[in-house]
Amino acid sequence: MYTLPELPYDYAALSPYISADIMKLHHDKHHQGYVDKLNAALDSGDPSLKAIDLPQLLGRADLPMAVRNQGGGHYNHALFWQWMAPSAGGEPTGRLAERIEQKFGSFQAFTDEFSSRANNVFGSGWAWLMPDMEIVTTPNQDTPMLLGKAEPLLGLDVWEHAYYLDYKNVRADYVKAWWDIVNWQFVQERYNNLSA
């Protein structure tokens, strides 16, 4: 049975970039909903699916739609909380910083490209940075694994529920502000693990 992970900081910790109201709603209602519906879908479906690791499971093309959507929702949000932190932002350092510069020319060029891709996701979805430095977007709660790709290094939730209370319908303002709370330390740890 999947369970809702606790936020690694207070609801208000990411304010003013993301308000306590959004964090509470997003974590306690939306993410809890994905967990509950994932468990219900697994309970009423093929029992062999319960034995498969979630990242692996989400790479399967033949999943029941409820498992794909709710499982993706749980996986994506469990990481999303960790991709943000109070007093974060800035730029990565070390191997990851070098790789970003090598691929995009500069950190600024990377954030410009990623922001542009995130802003252009039609409807609800996610933007991802992959361990090979590819930028990918997916609709709904689909993960990069569903496209046959690796687990993502970094991801941004661009569903309206992630920003509407703070930024109304102006997704670009949310995307711009988000860079100030990206937890590069966590992204760097993932890079070291995923690209080793």
Distance CA(122)–CA(118), nearest Å, equals 9
- Give the chain's end-to-end CA distance (angstroms, integer): 30
Tell me the residue number closest to Mn ion, measured at CB. 157
* Beta carbon nearer to Mn ion, 59 or 73: 73
Query: For Mn ion, which is the closer residue by CB, 41 or 162?
Result: 162
Q: Which is nearer to Mn ion, 9 or 104 (CB)?
A: 9
CB-wise, 2 or 104, nearer to Mn ion? 2
Q: What is the C-alpha to C-alpha distance for residues 84 and 65, in angstroms, rounded to an integer? A: 28
Q: How far is the CB of 19 from Mn ion (least distance, A)?
A: 15
Residue 80 in tokens: 């999303």
Cβ atoms 113, 135 nearer than 8 A: yes
Q: Could you say whether residue 159 binds Mn ion (CB under 5 A)?
A: yes
- Amino acid making up residue 97: A
Token pair of 106, please?
Answer: 């500069």
Binding mask 135-154 for Mn ion (x = CB under 5 A): --------------------
Under rule CB under 5 A, residue 157 binds Mn ion:
yes
Interface residues with Mn ion (CB under 5 A) are 157, 159, 162
